[in-house]
Structure 1
Amino acid sequence: MEKIQRILVTTDFSPRAGRAIRRAAQLAAEHKAELYLLHVLPTIPLKAIRRLMVETLPEAEQRLYEQARTALQHEAETLAKRDIPVKHHVAIGRAHIEINRYAESHRADLIVMGDQGETFVQELFLGTTASKTLRTGRHPLLITKQEPKGPYKHVLVPVDFSQSSLDALDMASKVAMQASIHVLHAVEVPFEQKMKHTGLYEEWVDLHRNGILNRALQGIEKIVEDYARNHIQVTPVIEHGPPSAIIREKARSLDIDLIAIGKRGETELDDALFGSVTKHVLYETTCDMLVVSPPAPQKSPEPPKPPNPYK
């Protein structure tokens, strides 16, 4: 299994960003990975300064840049005291664009970012840096919601047997190498209540439910076998009920400190970012969340251009 070698953590110098830095530093030490610290200086304040005519735009930009660079240098020196070498950089532009650009150019295996406080879910799905980074980027994103108290101990990975959920399981096993991993599948029979209300026999509904359950058992067993071959133990959990409620209950009962979930394709993402289940999980749990994006689609090679007959 490939190891995490490069971690990018973003900061706006807020307390929530401080939690993200501490988690990223812990992961970097655990994985012996390179750590990159990034602050993106937005262009909006610079335009506001220009309107006020307090100082010229180049002077204001340089002053704000130096302030951010000094603050990042202080963070890097603090980490160096813990024997965690870190490279830092101040970018200027739109945050999500610069974050994804930096992650791409430095081949980051993981981006770490703090949550957005009490209104995180509302802000996340209305266009915050986190949502835009997820929407436009392809790198796994770890959203920290709690103060790190050591390596992750208990990880929950909801799976629906799609490739995106299996990718999330792969990434979770890399991020939390020392944790116990619970693979959860919530069995929910589509239109179960409506089928009962239309007068269908209870036995027929039960038969339909059992068929779905058997397929889920086969899928879970295959996951357990595949990971056992790589000497990774995962614990299967199958429950009947709405996925968001099941995830919330299992996160509480299993003392989960990290939930890993796969982001769906572009159409579903644009419809509701990456699903109503994820929104409920973000809102209703205090766990850190690891969101894994599908790989970028490979572009078909362009056909060769025909020769110009007039040359």
Structure 2
Amino acid sequence: MKALMLATDLSNRSDRAMRRAARLARQFSCPWFILHVVDEDQPQLRVELEQEQVRRYFNGQLDFLTELAGRAPEIWVEVGDPAKHIADCTRWADVDLLVAGSHRKNPLRDIFVGTTLERLLRSSHVPVLVVNREAERDYQAPLLALDCSHASAEAVRAAHQLGLLPKGGARALHAFDPLGGPMLMAAGAGVIPGDYSADERRRATEALDEFLLQEELGPVISQRLIEEGLPMTALRRVLEREPVDLLVMGTRGLTGLKRVLIGSVADAALRELDCDILAVPPPLPH
């Protein structure tokens, strides 16, 4: 990891992201940036007042932040449309990871769609680490979500290049639907007993093996988890029975109906799951 940026709105939720960003900066001995974007869609006097308050806050926290990370962050206080400006700033700073706090989860209604985080995930050109948990230690138990698509392979490669996967490899989860063949993350469940389910499991395993061989991902995979059921069900099941501190998944990349399905799964994971999530966009076309 050459450099990272923390995007913060200074809410209580963003404090966990700040501590994770500082831990990563210390772990990889890399430069780090802290970015706060003041929303331009408000009166100019309020914009200027917020800028001054934020700068004063960071000046007071600089020694603490430097101690956490082992090096001082570069503080950016900007004005603009938050999601768009954050994405622009990652380009200007030439970072390879953006760290952000989770959105506010509300069991009564979906408030993920349209949030700054949701818009950022759709526009970012670098992986986004969404932090849900306290940064008590370096990541030790990541889970890779694979759907045998090039997009999911690129997500694994990005996590590996960032140094976020253990040297001994990480677990890979592949979900299959007995009624529809191998799939990646959607929602819902259903278990089909008997020989048909066993045949589908074997086919899913063979498809995953061929995918790992073609994409040359074998060395970074320590264990394959082949789970029956639709994807979000498989994810929930694995997270309930095994320790996972980081979920790695692509955000998009397939076309047509499948693209809509995969996007809905990434949204569902970010909306519902409480582990940290590395959401990796597809690489930019050359």
TM tier relative to shorter chain: 0.7 to 0.9
Separation in 2 of the partners of 1:32 and 1:268? 42
Q: Which of 143, 161, 164 pairs up with 1:176? A: 164
Partner of 1:245: 233
Separation in 2 of the partners of 1:287 and 1:75? 27
Q: Verify: 1:106 aligned to 2:97, yes or no.
A: no
Q: In 2 relative to 1, CA 218–18 (structure 1 residues): closer, same or farther, beyond 3 Å?
A: same
Q: For residue 234 of structure 1, report the CA deviation from its aligned partner.
A: 2.4
Q: Mind listing any 5+ residue stretches in structure 2 that lack a counterpart? A: 182-193
Q: Secondary structure at the match of 1:81?
A: helix
After TM superposition, where is structure 1 displaced by more than 6 Å over at least 4 residues in a row?
268-271
Could you tell me which amino acid in structure 2 is paired with residue 73 of structure 1?
N
Q: Secondary structure at the match of 1:124?
A: coil
Separation in 2 of the partners of 1:71 and 1:273? 42
Could you tell me which amino acid in structure 1 is paired with residue 73 of structure 2?
V
Separation in 1 of the partners of 2:5 and 2:246? 18
Q: For residue 270 of structure 1, report the CA deviation from its aligned partner.
A: 12
Pairs aligned (count): 270
Separation in 1 of the partners of 2:129 and 2:171? 18
Partner of 1:306: none
Q: Which of 126, 141, 160 pairs up with 1:154? A: 141
Q: For residue 69 of structure 1, report the CA deviation from its aligned partner.
A: 1.2
Does the Cα contact within 8 Å between 2:145 and 2:248 map onto a contact in 1? yes
Separation in 2 of the partners of 1:161 and 1:289? 19
Q: Which of 94, 99, 117 pairs up with 2:81? A: 94
Alignment of 1:244-283 (within 5 A): 244-265=232-253, 272=260, 275-283=263-271
Q: What's the TM-score once normalised by structure 2's chain length? A: 0.83
Partner of 2:274: 286
Q: What's the TM-score once normalised by structure 1's chain length? A: 0.77
Separation in 2 of the partners of 1:266 and 1:105? 28
Q: Secondary structure at the match of 1:237?
A: strand
Alignment of 1:1-311 (within 5 A): 4-46=1-43, 57=44, 60-82=46-68, 83-119=70-106, 122-125=110-113, 127-173=114-160, 174-178=162-166, 181-191=170-180, 205=196, 209=200, 212-219=203-210, 222=213, 226-228=217-219, 232=220, 234-265=222-253, 272=260, 275-298=263-286
Between Structure 1 and Structure 2, the one with more helix by share is 1
Q: For residue 30 of structure 1, report the CA deviation from its aligned partner.
A: 0.6
Deviations 1:182-217, CA, capped at 9 Å, x for gaps: 11111223448xxxxxxxxx87x5686266335324
Deviations 1:3-41, CA, capped at 9 Å, x for gaps: x11111011111111111101111111111111000001
Q: Indicate the percent of aligned positions where both proteins have the same amino acid.
A: 27
**Whose radius of gyration is greater, 1 or 2?**
1
